[in-house]
Amino acid sequence: MPFIGELSALLTSFLWSGTSFAFASASIRVGPLQVNINRMILASILLISTILLFGFEYNLSQTQIKNLVISGIIGLVLGDTFLFQSYKDIGARLSMLVMASAPGMAAILAFYFLNEVLSTLAVTGMIITIFGIVLVVSEKNNLSNAKSNIRLAGIIYAILASLGQAGGLIFAKFAFDEGEINGFVATFVRIFSSVVILLFLASLFGRYKNPVRLYRNDKKALLATLIGTVLGPYLGITFSLIAIIHTKVGIAATLMSLMPVIMIPISRYYYKERLSWRAITGAVIAVAGVAILFLV
């Protein structure tokens, strides 16, 4: 199927856009750390059930498992932890603005570690797309909702989150380059290894609460967590891995960064937010950049 990598990356952006609303709702009710760990536990259960039900091949080499575990630690444990901390320090909008650098970081790392060379047209498409995303995220009304006291530490956390996201993709690509791996199997290895580490640390420091008792008293939080889990860790991460199998890491990372643009119509029709011409212009520019990437 042509453009399977690019289409998978685009689908990932749509899925992650939906999951952001679901997890935002759940986090308000039970807390972000609780939601982060619970989503990975639920995703692990869904993934292993899918693997066994459909009989997907899961015989991986030790090197493939090692690279997927490292990918999970860098991208999901460290990357997401830094991202959540940056949300706390500088707000979600400014964090997303800094995260727009992730595709560039991914492309540079892929060049040095995977020998992936992007064409001039691909680089042009990436730059145009990222510029459009920056316009959307840096829209004045959006930044006015960010924390007024911007901390340097928050910016650094967001940069580390970008590096974590990019580095996680590189190590996953290492595993795929060694041999064929089913996307659901690769996602399970990444998520399960990550949740083991997070659950241990959270329990060690007394930060994790009994999820059964927690959700028994808040069914809405449970529903939001379930929806976010299916859209995000279960399907979203799986399609993100399928994307890097079939296209260059830098291109996949750029297309997966379109969340702010995709969330514009959702914010307009669901939250009744007014759209500025800056946001609309940024969205149009980003779409033009995406079109160029499909011409590569």
Task: Give 51-70 pLDDT, tens digit per residue.
Answer: 999 999 999 999 999 999 99
pLDDT band at 154 (very low <50, low <70, confident <90, very high): confident
Q: What is the pLDDT of residues 183-199, one digit of tens each?
A: 999 999 999 999 999 99
Question: In the prediction, which pLDDT does 185 show?
Answer: 96
Predicted confidence (pLDDT) at residue 272 exceeds the cutoff of 50: yes
Q: What number of residues does the chain have?
A: 296
Alpha helices in 179-276 (DSSP H): 183-204, 211-216, 219-229, 237-246, 249-255, 259-270
pLDDT at 148: 46
User: Coil, strand or helix: which one is 55?
Assistant: coil
pLDDT score for 1: 65
Looking at residues 214-235, what average pLDDT do you find?
92
Residue 182 to residue 293: CA distance in whole angstroms: 25
Eight-state DSSP code of residue 276 = P
User: For the chain, percent helix, then strand, then coil, each to nearest 5?
Assistant: 80, 0, 20
224 pLDDT more than 60: yes
Mean pLDDT confidence for 17-42: 86
What's the CA gap between 191 and 39, in Å, rounded? 10
Mean pLDDT of 80-85: 84
Residue 135 binned pLDDT confidence (cut-offs 50, 70, 90): confident
Whether the Cβ atoms of residue 182 and residue 58 lie closer than 8 Å to each other: yes
Residue whose structure tokens are 């290492």: 174
For the ranges 18-22, 41-45, 268-272, the lowest mean pLDDT is seen at 268-272
pLDDT of residue 136: 84
Q: Quick count: other Cβ atoms within 10 Å of Cβ 115? A: 7
